[in-house]
A and B are shown apart, each in its own frame.
With several copies, the nearest count.
Chain A
Amino acid sequence: MTEPLIFEYSSASRQGFVADSDARPNLLAEVLRTDELMLPSASELEVVRHYTRLSQQNFSIDTQFYPLGSCTMKYNPRVCNRLAMLPQFLGRHPLGPVEHGQGYLQTMFELQEMLQVATGMAAVSLTPMAGAQGEFAGVAMIRAYHESRGDEARNQIIVPDAAHGTNPATATMCGCEVVEIPTREDGDLDIDRLRAVAGSNTAGIMLTNPSTLGLFERQIEEIAAIIHAAGGLLYYDGANLNAILGKTLPGDMGFDVIHMNLHKTFSTPHGGGGPGSGAVGVTERLKPFLPVPFVQKVDGRYTWATEEQYPQSIGRLSAFMGNAGVLLRAYVYMRMLGRTGMERVSDFAVLNANYLMVCLREAGFEVAFPERRASHEFIVSLKQIARETGVTAMDFAKALLDYGFHAPTTYFPLLVPECLLIEPTESESRRSLDGFVAAMAKIRDAAYSDPDTVKQAPLTMPVRRLDDVHAAKQPDLVWQSAESGQRKG
């Protein structure tokens, strides 16, 4: 059943929530708005019913296996949400005095410390609001570092071709030039190329390790040596931290600055697109440049570190201190894991990925790097099936939905044709993984026996396959009531 738009429920002059007063504001007519504000006018029941029904049209971790590579879709414990929503935490004004915030500040301080331990960094700032903003903070710190040394010419950021799009986009936002390095056949970085480009213009390199290919970069120490020798710094994109938690430290690998996606490794919810948190960690030499505010402990009292105290800080990245409620959820999760729990994260994330990879390979699928150990994710290439049957990675993705599985990441990283990037995470059971393998095998069989049917998928979703070209060619981005005439959106 199609759910209408909330605006289509509307009748004039009605509202769900009953507000307190009908008074008129104490303002001159000339400043007031005179047009009709197009908000829904539905009853509370209609609103509740509408959004409850819409929610049911989503796949989610709470309802489906969701092996979306690079996204670490692990279980989000309900208690993390419950505790972040304690009334005192929800009611705390961000500019409230620290006297009314010691409980909250202590929690943030301890979170900073736990993240330092987990990454081998000397200091952490929690303020970035997602991975990409963490990257921004990191590259801005790298630039500030070079500037502080009068080394202004360094404006190149090196990124592997397998990098996530946020890496090059961040470099540009920071005013840097992007230098792309290819990946070798074996999945590691082309180190000769790196040697060739590293030099006096090098501000730094952005790497994720394991890479977005699901492979641990084995030459990491050599890479670090090359970059450092050239005078550059190493940035660690922590999106894949789930693979190495408790096994190795970015700090030990030679990284100078790192962001962590707490909404991946530390299980804060993705919320259908956000919010996240991209906390950044740095080694000693970048400490003066950390974005403010962060929490410090002075004589047993927790306070905010300010720009006055850290005049070299790159400054603020949000009006207050980032996604505070997300940070609370990450803290609760980390405390519930404790040391052994954290170490197990990578054990089982990696076990699940390798098991799933082996099962798929044994079921006849082509794995992109069969000679390599998978990290927490791995790539299947459907190139041959696509060639032989016309059924593509996208078709597989859609067909999986009909089997009750969310699709893996498709067509990323860009260098493997017809690829699926598959990340099961540690919180899925063997039962889920086996079910996924069975579905993949059935789709493959159908691709050979009846490819047209596969290309029709999905059949069980609220809509059939959507026309993306139409969407982009005739953008309809905002609803217009029939009366208000032609769409403008």
Chain B
Amino acid sequence: MPFVPHTESDISTMLSRVGVAALGELFDEIPAGLRIKGLEGIGPALSEAEITQLMQMRARHDGEPLCFIGAGAYDHYVPAAVWDIATRGEFYSAYTPYQAEASQGTLQVIYEFQTMLASLTGLEVSNASLYDGATAFAEACLMAVRANRKNRSRNILVPRTLSPAYREVARVMLKGQRIELVELPMRDGISDLKTLDNLSAGDFAAVAIQNPNFLGSLDHVDVLTDWAHSGGALVIGVANPMALALLKPPGQWGAAGADIACGEGQPMGIPMSSGGPYFGFLVCRQAVIRQMPGRIVGRTVDLEGKPGFTLTLQAREQHIRRSRATSNICTNQGLVATAATIYMSLLGAPGLRSVATSCNANTSALVEALIALPGVTRSFAAPFFHEAVLAFDRPVAGVLDALSSNGILGGYDLSADYPELGNALLVCATEMRSAADISAYADTAREILGAAA
């Protein structure tokens, strides 16, 4: 019996100890009318060898195309040690560290994780992870509304250049609490500062700023931060941790720095894996910690005075505060955060900087190679980190299809999210894309564009 260890003799001993004649009797409190005969419609069991063959076949079928898509998930190299260690049984098959003394491994890892995230974002305190970047952004908005005691606004100002998926998830998650996202228009791929003149920061609980933004560009983080603070709005910085190896962190934006930083942790050693599991991070100033959702690990002492780690500030959480909790989140993305902690430890600051720099250089090279093709231009002049928008002289979808049949994923088609940009394509070349890969893209694109012209 798969994954059930009972022998016939175990079963009969146990049944008689319980005082029933058959397994079925154990379910005698279920009203007879609700009992079913079993799970018709579920197929027979596969052996481990059979399921292995099946999944290998499906995986092979999906192939390993050359990826130039970014748009929120990035193809970075993950050192072998990261998941070798993260999937050790003791990390992999443990529960949330409620019994601290028997969970020092997980707890210390998360304390280290919190420290790394605080340093990356330039802020003071971090939680132990949220589901993903999009939900972390939504939680940051909820947190800001609770934390902003100066104004009682339920509006958040959000740039149009912020990830469409994040804006959509936030809309869904804020709707019940009647919190609104107000859009800050864009111009040339970044926030249109002129439009601020018609707005008052005091009307917003918080202003969100993504840098680099969804279109890859670096935004006016200092101006926007100072404008927000001037009116008493909090600032939520949305960042890519890989970019933070190079860029000024949210905690240092403007005169006072952002109050909350959040984002998608995937670039820190997490495979793209069709979109998950990733992890969201949420970091803030000490002052607003009691509004932080999710678990937090603290260092304390044991009864002999020896340092040790434990879950702390749990009074914010649903299992204590119930309906008045800061969030309903319970299970988070612990294992993924563990992997990220190992990744960041292996690379260290110089390693991370070097990967980030390669991404920047490779995307620059890719952009150069593609705008050399007829009918392709850069959409914006703003500096970018590792993604950029290209304008095509024809619909992008057809070009992407043709590239895809050549085993190349050419980027993310922006036409649905940003119809105002025309035939616009968001491209990305991480440190994994070699010069040969970039040439392969350019050469194939040249043929496609030529052939169809």
Contacts and interface: CB of A to CB of B under 8 A. Distances in A.
A373 B62 contact: no
Given A175-B176, A478-B118, A373 B26 contact: yes
Given A271-B336, A347-B26, A86 B48 contact: no
B273 A92 contact: yes
B13 A62 contact: no
A96 B5 CA distance: 40
B404 interface: yes
A22 interface: yes
A55 B85 contact: yes
B281 interface: no
B42 interface: yes
A249 interface: yes
Given A15-B348, A475-B312, A269 B93 contact: yes
A174 B177 CA distance: 6
A27 B246 contact: yes
B244 to A, nearest CB: 7
A63 B319 contact: no
A464 B124 contact: no
A15 to B, nearest CB: 4
Given A58-B106, A117-B39, A461-B102, A33 B247 contact: yes
Most B-side CB within 10 Å, residue of A88, A92, A99: A92
A458 to B, nearest CB: 5
Interface string B371-410: 0000000000001010000000000000011001100010
A139 B6 CA distance: 39
A336 B404 contact: no
B51 A7 contact: no
Interface string A260-283: 010100010111111110000000
A131 B338 CA distance: 21
Interface residues of B, number: 212
A416 to B, nearest CB: 16
A58 to B, nearest CB: 4
Given A169-B322, A273-B128, A35 B30 contact: no
Contacts of A256: none
Interface in B215-273: 218, 244-249, 252, 264, 271-273
A286 interface: no
B33 interface: yes
Nearest to A33: B248
Contact of B58 (A25, A56, A106, A275): A106
A73 B331 CA distance: 14
A421 to B, nearest CB: 12
Nearest to B61: A103
Contacts of A54: 104-105, 108-109
A263 B331 contact: yes
A247 B29 CA distance: 11
B357 A23 contact: yes
Interface string B28-46: 1111011110111111111
Interface string B46-69: 111111101111111111110101
B346 A118 contact: no
A104 B26 contact: no
Interface in A57-77: 57-63, 66, 68, 71, 73-77
A198 B382 CA distance: 58
Contacts of B55: 83, 86, 107, 328, 332
A273 B322 contact: no
A122 interface: no
Most B-side CB within 10 Å, residue of A12, A247, A276: A247
A347 B310 CA distance: 36
B169 A316 contact: yes
B153 interface: no
A351 B46 contact: no
B306 A463 contact: yes
B89 A60 contact: yes
A58 B244 CA distance: 32
B418 to A, nearest CB: 15
B198 interface: no
Size category of the binding interface on chain A:
35 or more
A476 B300 CA distance: 7
Interface in A1-57: 2-3, 5-7, 11-28, 31-48, 50-52, 54-57
B61 A216 contact: no
Contact of A16 (B99, B111, B323, B347): B347
A348 B95 contact: no
A244 B28 CA distance: 12
B18 A466 contact: no
B355 interface: yes
Contacts of A23: 354, 357-358, 361
Given A40-B345, A339-B42, A358 B18 contact: yes
A479 B274 contact: no
A340 to B, nearest CB: 7
A326 interface: yes
Contact of B133 (A46, A319, A341): A319
A45 B30 contact: no
Nearest to A267: B3
Given A43-B3, A86-B59, A355-B17, A324 B274 contact: yes
Contacts of B46: 335-336, 338
Nearest to B27: A247
Interface in A146-195: 164-166, 168-176, 178
B47 A19 contact: yes
Interface in A419-436: 426-430
B169 to A, nearest CB: 5
Contacts of A100: 62-63, 65, 404, 409
Contacts of A326: 276-277
Nearest to B312: A471
Most A-side CB within 10 Å, residue of B96, B102, B279, B338: B102
A344 interface: yes
Nearest to B335: A271
Nearest to B348: A15
Given A83-B51, A96-B69, A318-B169, A15 B79 contact: no
Interface string B330-367: 11111111100110111111111111111011001000
A284 interface: no
A470 B308 CA distance: 11
A129 interface: yes
B419 interface: no
A4 to B, nearest CB: 10
Contacts of B309: 466
Contacts of A244: 27, 30
A350 B26 contact: yes
Contact of A79 (B80, B87, B323, B329): B80
A121 interface: no
A326 B312 CA distance: 27
B302 A358 contact: no
A97 interface: yes
B432 to A, nearest CB: 10
A3 B29 CA distance: 40
B34 A221 contact: yes
B88 A332 contact: no
Contacts of B109: 51, 54, 272
A136 interface: yes
Contacts of A412: 319
The 10 tightest CB contacts between A and B, nearest first, are A271-B335, A320-B275, A273-B334, A62-B89, A338-B45, A103-B58, A94-B275, A43-B5, A175-B176, A169-B318
21 contacts: A13-B7, A14-B348, A18-B351, A39-B116, A39-B120, A39-B345, A58-B97, A78-B84, A99-B405, A117-B40, A130-B329, A164-B330, A170-B328, A172-B328, A248-B34, A271-B91, A339-B42, A340-B45, A355-B14, A468-B312, A479-B115
Given A24-B357, A131-B330, A334-B42, 16 more contacts: A21-B358, A23-B354, A28-B383, A32-B248, A52-B90, A54-B108, A68-B98, A93-B69, A140-B172, A216-B29, A273-B331, A274-B129, A325-B274, A351-B6, A358-B17, A465-B303
